[in-house]
Every structure is written in structure tokens, then in C-alpha cells.
Amino acid sequence: MAEVEEAPKALNYIPEIVLKKRKSNDDWAIRRREQAELKKERTKKNKSLVFRRAEDFIKEYRNKELDFVQMKHRKRQRTSSNAIPESKLLFVIRIRGTNDMHFQTRKALHSLKLRSINSGVFVKANEGVMDILRRIEPYVTYGSPNFQTVKDLICKKGYGKIDKQKTPLTDNNLIEQALGQYGILCIEDIVHEIATVGSHFREVVNFLWPFKLTRPEGGKLLKKTRYSDGGDAGNRGDTINELINKMN
């Protein structure tokens, strides 16, 4: 007698909602694992970044303190390059930025209105100005401009301060309005007053906006050593005219 074949067992029925829940749980577990790995990597990077920042802060602080010590040392020095020159007119150009700069050095630069690299101003050489230039020497270069350089600089890049706004010197009426009380009526009068360091030199300098020069061809002026020693900083005498012409 032939054996009776057993009927196949029915598969267990799993509701669709249970399958979806299982898939959702699996996906969630995978995401959690990925997030945990990312968090671990970020924590590791942040720790190294914190140590790096701490080292940078310490280095920056030490450099700024060193700059302050060197500034005080320069202030006590009195070299021939820092002596009051025969020409009372100086043009000062800022050649370096604020990296590793002590706030006292920045304050001295700002007292001359030198707030950015390649900015320049006319100053009258006296004991007080030479004292400031000694303190900020690695960040500036300066010298005695001639009449033609003064004229070219003012005519090409000169701006005045009208109602606290930077205004081009294209209208003599504006000059007369601002400086007429001192007998200065036009741009030629401004050039003459600056070049001769006249009796109203201070008023004219305060009227003029700091000159924004262009970077000279061949790169930046960054060498902190004195110009007389082959660097870029400090007093360069009459050769300032060549530099101004390149940057004007």
C-alpha cells in the first residue's frame, strides 16, 4: 500500500507591519553606529585641534611679548639712522601686518594713522616722531621725499577729509572750504605747505587722508632688518623717492 504523502507545512505568516518595523530598527541601528563612529572621529580631531590652538596661542603670546620687549629696547637705542634728519619732512610707509604684534606697537602705528599695509603719511621730523619711529621700526620704512615726489603723490593719490568722508582732491572749492582760513585755497597750496613743512603743516596733514599705495613690483616689503643692513625697514633717506614712485 502506497504511503500517504505528508502535506507541506504552511510558512509562518509575518505581518507586513512587523517586517517594516524590523527593517526600520535595522536601519536605525546602522545609522546609530555610523553616527557613533563620526562622533568618535570628531572628538579625536577636536582634541588635536584644541592642543594645536593652545600651542598657537602660547606661541602668539610669546611673540607679542617679545615684540614688546624689543620695542622698549629700540626706544632706548639712539643710532645715527634714528637721529632727526636735516630735512624736516618725512614720508612713512607701513610695510608689515599685525601678526605677532603687541598692542602697544599697534597703538603707536595707529597714532600715525598707519592702520593698514602699504598706507603712508607725511610727518614732521621731531623728537617725538623719531621716538615713535624707533619703536615701530620693523613695521615701517621712511625717508625724505623731494618736491616732485610730494607733488606726484598728492595729485595722483591725494584724498581729503570732508565731513569725515574720504573725498578726492578734484575741486579747489572743497579745499578752500576746509583750509581757506589758513590761506590754503588749492591743491598747489597743499603741495607747497607739505613740501616746505609750513606753519600750517599740521592742519594740512590732518586734512589729508592716509595715502593708500600699491604693492611694489617684485613682492612685498617684509624684511624686518634695517634698510641700511640690506632689509626693508627703517630710514632709507632720499631713496624713499624711488620706492614711492614704484608704489604711486
Q: Is residue 124 a contact partner of residue 89, using CB atoms and an 8 Å limit?
A: yes
pLDDT at 195: 95
Virtual CA dihedral for 43, 46, 48, 53, nearest 10 degrees? -160
Model-level pTM greater than 0.85? no
pLDDT at 220 over 70: no
Q: How far apart are CA 74 and CA 163, in angstroms?
A: 38
Residue 184 is placed in which grid cell? Answer: 590754503
Reported in sequence order, the residue ranges of the chain that DSSP labels E, i.e. its strands, are: 89-94, 119-124, 140-143, 159-162, 165-168, 211-212, 234-235
Q: Is residue 236 a contact partner of residue 143, using CB atoms and an 8 Å limit?
A: yes
Q: Is residue 140 a contact partner of residue 113, using CB atoms and an 8 Å limit?
A: no
pLDDT at 29: 78
Amino acid at 116: S
pLDDT at 248: 87
pLDDT in tens, 72-81: 555 556 555 5
pLDDT at 1: 46
Calculate ∠ Cα 133-91-172, nearest 5°.
Answer: 140
pLDDT in tens, 81-137: 556 778 899 999 999 877 767 788 889 999 999 999 999 999 999 999 998 998 888
Helix-helix angle 147-157:240-247, to 10 degrees: 20
Neighbour-count burial for 94-114, b at 16+ CB within 10 Å, e otherwise: bbbeeebbbeebbebbeebbb
CB atoms within 10 A of CB 246: 13
Higher pLDDT, 37 or 65: 37
Q: How far apart are CA 240 and CA 150, in angstroms?
A: 11
